[in-house]
Amino acid sequence: MFLITFAIIIINTYDKFRSEQLNSIENILQNTYLHKTLESISNSLNPRFEKINFVIGPGENFNNLLNKINLDKEEKKKILDFILSNKIKFNLYENQKISFDIDNLSNRKIVKIVIPINKKRDLVIYTNEKNSFSSIELKKELVLANVYRENFIKSSLYKAAIEKKIDPNIIVQFAQIYGFQVDFQRDIRKNDSFQIVYEEYKNDENKTVDFGNILYANLILQGKSLELFYFNSEKNKINDHFESNGQSIKKTLMKTPINGARLSSSYGMRKHPILGYNKMHQGTDFAAPTGTPIMASGTGVVLKAGWCGGGGNCVKIRHNSTYSTVYAHMSKFARGIKKGVRVTQGQVIGYVGSTGMSTGPHLHYEVIKNGKKINSQTLKLPSGKKLTGKNREDFEIAKIKINVLKSELINSQN
Ligand SMILES: [Zn+2]
């Protein structure tokens, strides 16, 4: 009984409170001052700021656009003076989209003009705080999208990728990240396949204008998966692809420091092509056209870039206390390659030639381990870094996210 009474009192009090509140709102609405305010708001519903989008027609120029906007003479002169006196150059072409932001407060004034310069950049002319014009070039606002593609490799990776409309930029990146492990000319068999997840940037017209990272790559060669995950830690300066166990795919040295070459003579005893007698061949020869770029097979310091007698123009690089490499018969050295210079793995150090004791254009490549020349092709090369500790933990999280993203992308295709 007490509870019921108590509840009724509360409901009554609440109702009373509500009706008082409604009354006061009604009073406010009848207030003449407010009426006037509402009126002035609705009068200015002709909006103060206006955006006008133009698509440039054939033969149209900037002056035509200004006339279409209905600026008064002064404002029109002001913007043209600004463009001419600051020698601001831009091209107008058919179907280009230009936007004007106009302030209608008293007379029409230009707040901002956006003129696309290219796929990635806009020229923006705007009214600054001093009420005059300024201009700036800005990167367009791009939207990041993730893409999943897969295909069987029938003849070449390149063809299989193009078939799935993968941009050549991404194909090159893909081949590069596997470059330490896979020889795309020799290792690919029929019905090998690949999967890839990569980032692309789209502009406001939904056109792809740039590419980001390959987040996931899988190359399935004769039924064996070579999965790679992208991992990036700005703090620890890591920005690379790793195998599922956190091992970098990069090796300390490349087996083949040249692209598109044919192994023409391997390490071992052979009849010397010029000297004519049996001699130990202490390197590996790769036949390739003159001028083909030769890469540093590992990061290191140039010990020599000069004439080596029978080796012709040659470069020698010291990688660490154990390994150094030699590249001989070059036609020329790459710019800046000289003694004492630091080079990074994959950096071009020179070009294939036939200088010194040589019968035709080729690269003679030597790997020296603890002062002894060894066979680069059978050498078990030491691996690059493996993620440990906090980096490894973060990598595991990155891997899960990438796997989730991949399944989402696959599902959305079905
Ligand atoms: Zn040789």
- The answer to the question of residue 203 being in a domain is yes
Structure confidence by residue, pLDDT tens digits, 227-269: 999 999 888 878 889 999 998 877 778 888 887 667 777 888 7
* Cα four-point dihedral sign 60, 62, 64, 70: positive
| Secondary structure (3-state) at 128 | coil
Distance from Cα 362 to the centre of ligand 1, integer Å: 8
Q: Is residue 397 part of a domain?
A: no
Asked whether residue 354 is domain-assigned, the answer is yes
**Of the given ranges (30-44, 92-106, 130-144, 376-390), which has the lowest mean pLDDT?**
30-44
pLDDT in tens, 200-220: 999 877 888 889 999 999 999
- Considering the domain architecture, whether residues 66 and 90 belong to the same structural domain is answered as yes
CA of 300 to the centre of ligand 1 (A): 22
Residue 391, domain member (yes or no): no
Spacing, Cα 363 to ligand 1 middle (Å): 7
- Count of domains forming the chain: 4
Say whether both 167 and 78 belong to one domain.
Answer: no
Question: How far is Cα 41 from Cα 105, in angstroms, rounded to an integer?
Answer: 13
Give the tens place of pLDDT for each residue, 155-197: 888 889 999 999 888 887 888 788 767 767 667 788 899 999 9
**Cα–Cα dist 272/283, whole Å:** 12
Asked if residues 258 and 284 have their Cβ atoms less than 8 Å apart, the reply is no
CA of 279 to the centre of ligand 1 (A): 11
Helix (H), strand (E) counts: the chain: 7, 23
- Look at residue 380 and tell me if it is in a domain: no
Same domain, residue pair 86 and 149: no
Residue 190's domain comprises: 143-242
Domain end point (choices 77, 110, 139): 139
One domain for residues 153 and 228: yes
CA of 284 to the centre of ligand 1 (A): 6
pTM of the model: 0.55
Q: What separation in Å is there between the alpha carbon of 364 and the centre of ligand 1?
A: 4
- Looking at residue 63, which CATH number applies to its domain? 3.10.450.350
pLDDT for residue 9 is more than 80: no
- How large a percentage of the chain has pLDDT more than 70? 86
Residue 359 sits in the same domain as residue 279: yes
Position 168 in a domain: yes
* Structure tokens, 187: 């290792």
CATH number at residue 341: 2.70.70.10
